[in-house]
Structure formats: structure tokens, C-alpha cells
Structure 1
Amino acid sequence: MKADDTRRRIVEAADRLFYERGFETTSFADIAQAVALSRGNFYYHFKTKDEILSEVIECRIAERRQLLSRWDEQETNPRLRIENFINILIVNQTKIMAFGCPVGTLCTELAKLDHALQGEAARLFQLFAGWLEKQFAQLGCGSASHDLAMHLLMRSQGVATLANTFRDADFVRREVDAMIFWLNTQIPDATSCS
């Protein structure tokens, strides 16, 4: 059990460091230091940084699935579920202003590096896009559901990027309000979408 606990601590530290510093600039030594392990003990658990990255991606996917499941369980109204997604910008505002969106920054960095795990990281966006599309479909948006989901995902990423750039909490609040207004204009009565 101790080895599993150590491995979990390594992945948690790597996840945090990849988010705060970026994947490319985070070294084995940085991660080992964060969990107070010698490099030899560290290599017992992970031989390459890509192995750690793969596990970080899987953990992020599992955490996001749990979040989406919790929203599905807590709220029966799909419009309010979508508002939960939008409001995540407020809930995580401090971290987003400091480091950007954990999904967007990782996917962007791996794309720039043309990294082999870029497609795996993209599953994070696919998870959100699919979930949003399902919510719009439940609101009766039919064939427009995919486009609406992608529009909202794009807009939330833009807000996260600009929040990180300008570090303006008022901007984030205004944009969240604007996205909720947009949502309500797109779905005025849950039977029509444009």
C-alpha cells in the first residue's frame, strides 16, 4: 500500500506542477523534491516523464467525470447544469487567473510540442464537449446541440485565457454573466435553439 500511496503522491505533485509551471519546464527533480523522494526511489515508480503525464491525464479525466456526474446528480434541469459549467470560471477564478485553465493550458502546451500524448489530453475537452452537447440536446436543441456546446466551450476557454493574461476578476464575472445571458437567449423555453 505504501508504494501505491507514494505513486499517488507523485501523480498529485506532478499534476500541480504541470498546471502551475507547465509540462515541459517541470523536471523529474522538481516532482521528486515536491514529494521528498530521492531520484532513485522516484524512478522505481516512474521511468519517464511521459509515464507520469499519462497518469496525470487519466486522473484529470477521472476527476472531471466525477464533477460532471455530481452536477448530473445534483441538478435535474440541464440549463442549470450548463450554468454550473459556466460558473466553474468563478469557482476556480483565483487559480485560473494565476495559471489559466488546467485543461486548456495542458492541451495547448502538448499541441505546441507535438507531443505523443496530445490526443490523450484532448479527451479532456471531448469529455466536456460531449457532456455539454448532451445538456443542449436535453433542452431540445437537436442538431444545434453540438455547435452550441462547442461555442460555449470555446468561449469559456477564451475567458480563461484572458483571465490569466489580465488577472481581472471583474472581467471574469462580467463574462460569466454574459455567458449565462447568452445561454438564456439560446434556450428561452427549452424547446427552441438557434
Structure 2
Amino acid sequence: MAKKGDKTRTDIVDCAKDLFYTQGYERTSFTDIVNATGVYRGNIYHYFKSKEEILEAVIDQRLAEFRIVLKQWDVRHSTPRARLMAFVQMIASKRKDLTRYGCPIGSLNTELAKDQHDLQQSSKALFDLFRDWLTAQFIALGYAAEAESLALHLLGRAQGIAVIAHVYGDAALLQGEVSRLEAWIEESIVQSGLS
């Protein structure tokens, strides 16, 4: 069982993660985090000295969560095709949030890249994690020479889908683009000769 202090810290990070996603990092104040958690400001300062430190903890938590998901996909799906499809299905499964708020890691990176370059370098690790995992899937499909390029193409298309669905507030548009992305993966597999 987690200690009370560990639970409080986790609660702060969870609340901040949701606020940074739904409101944006810049628009979320320390007071917003205090109000959302119900933890006194002084107690939050016990764990985090600044909003930047909270963001770093949010990024670390997201990295840990995504690592678990990727390991689960590696275990659950025996082929690179199935793993790539799991990635695409993740987009479809998040269509409500993506349509309303955009992609959590894409939105955060875009916001931070404007004037918080040090923090953006930390948040870029979220994309790096997916890029590296997707690259491994394309290598397994026999695309070693262009695996990273294909991984970035897939990430770019996923981000584009999230942005367009968010801009137009259209979950059906997102689903249609997910279907096109699945067809692109199938075509890549046929071309690789691993169909």
C-alpha cells in the first residue's frame, strides 16, 4: 500500500495532467492545481517548488504510462502489423478527447515550443518513445533503411488526424482518417512481403 505522501503527490500530478491537457499548460495556474486537488498550497510546495516541477512530474508519469502500454502491446500482439494497428486503434479509442482537446502530447509540445524550449525538450521525450517503438515495428516488417522515416510519417499522420478532428470538432472525420491510416499500414505490409 502506498504511503499517504506518495498518494498526495500522485493526486497532484494526476490533477495537473488533466488541467494541462484540458486548459493548456500556460493557462493553468498554480491556484488551479490547488483548487483541483484540494491540497493546501503549502502542502503542494512540499512536493513541488514550481509549476515547472509539476510539469516534469506529469511528463515522467506519462512516459511511465506509455511504456506500460507499449510493453502490453508487445506481449499481446505477436506481429508488427498487429502492434501498429494497436497504435492506430488507440487514436480511435480516444476520439472523444482528441476531438474536444486535441492530442495531449502534441498540444503540450506545440504550446511549450513557443516560449518554453527547455520544458519542450523534456516533453519531446514522449514523442521519442513512440518514434522509437514504431521504428522497431517497421524494422520488423523489413523496412530497416526507412524505418525511422516511416515511424515519423505515422506519428505525423496521427497528429494531423488529432488536429483536424479537434479543429472541426468532428469525431466521424477522425474515424474516417483512422480507417485510411489502417489501409496505409496494410498496404505497407503487403509491399514488405510479410502479408
Q: TM-score range by the shorter chain?
A: over 0.9
| Secondary structure at the counterpart of residue 24 of structure 1 | coil
* Rounded Cα–Cα distance in structure 1 between residues aligned with 2:14 and 2:176: 33
Look up the match of 2:59: 57
Look up the match of 1:38: 40
8 Å Cα contact 1:71/1:84 also seen in 2? yes
Which consecutive segments of 4 or more residues in structure 1 shift more than 6 A? none
Structure 2: runs of 5 or more not aligned? none
Look up the match of 1:191: 193
Look up the match of 1:97: 99
Q: Which amino acid aligns with 1:90?
A: A
Report the identity percentage: 42
* Deviation larger for 150-159 or 140-149: 140-149
1:154 aligns with 2:138: no
* Superposition CA RMSD, Å: 1.2
Match of 2:120 among 112, 118, 121: 118
* Rounded Cα–Cα distance in structure 2 between residues aligned with 1:128 and 1:40: 36
8 Å Cα contact 1:61/1:124 also seen in 2? yes
**TM-score normalized with structure 1 length:** 0.95
The structural deviation recorded for 1:114 is: 3.0
* Rounded Cα–Cα distance in structure 2 between residues aligned with 1:150 and 1:131: 11
* Rounded Cα–Cα distance in structure 1 between residues aligned with 2:155 and 2:59: 19
Equivalent residues, number: 192
Match of 1:175 among 151, 174, 177: 177
Q: Which amino acid aligns with 1:37?
A: V
The structural deviation recorded for 1:154 is: 0.3
